A and B are shown apart, each in its own frame.
Chain A
Amino acid sequence: DIQLTQSPSTLPASLGERVTISCRASQSISNSLNWYQQKPDGTVKRLIYSTSTLESGVPSRFSGSGSGTDYSLSISSLESEDFAMYYCLQYATYPLTFGSGTKLEIK
């Protein structure tokens, strides 16, 4: 199974700050990676698919990049609604696997 190592597990940040979350795969996943946001009520929303394609309706302050085994999600200028959990998901190979999550919290 492909393991995804997501870091950091917790990310304290301030409004307006730029942040980056990393997701490293145990083998190449050929850009088959999505990013999800989960709010405290459990609602899950896809932000980015295929490494860097922004989901319709998602603010442009979100961006994704990477290749091979290393991927990242960046938020250019944090707004209050961005404080949530974030997960990466690889779909290159079954079984699908999620990263362990990053809690983006207010500093």
Chain B
Amino acid sequence: AQSVTQLGSHVSVSEGALVLLRCNYSSSVPPYLFWYVQYPNQGLQLLLKYTTGATLVKGINGFEAEFKKSETSFHLTKPSAHMSDAAEYFCVLARQTGANNLFFGTGTRLTVIP
């Protein structure tokens, strides 16, 4: 079975501080993992993805995530938060084989304090 857990439905950081959004997954087959961001009144936009190869993946807007199989984690980080980073973030899993639907975490709302 596949599932995704995001720890913390709300995270607040000060502008310029480190952003860390946690994601753990469960999968019976090797997963593909994604982080999507949703700004108010907009659709979900891909931040980054892990498929195969390098476990540290870099995305847009300075975000990166590291796939750690031993910890079944795919945490999202950014060294310095910007006001424009305030949004909802979703960790998403796709199976490499079989049905092509997605498994979503519950989302984390990031607030950036000036």
To the question of whether A and B form a pair in one complex, the answer is no
* A interface residues with partner B (beta carbon < 8 Å): none
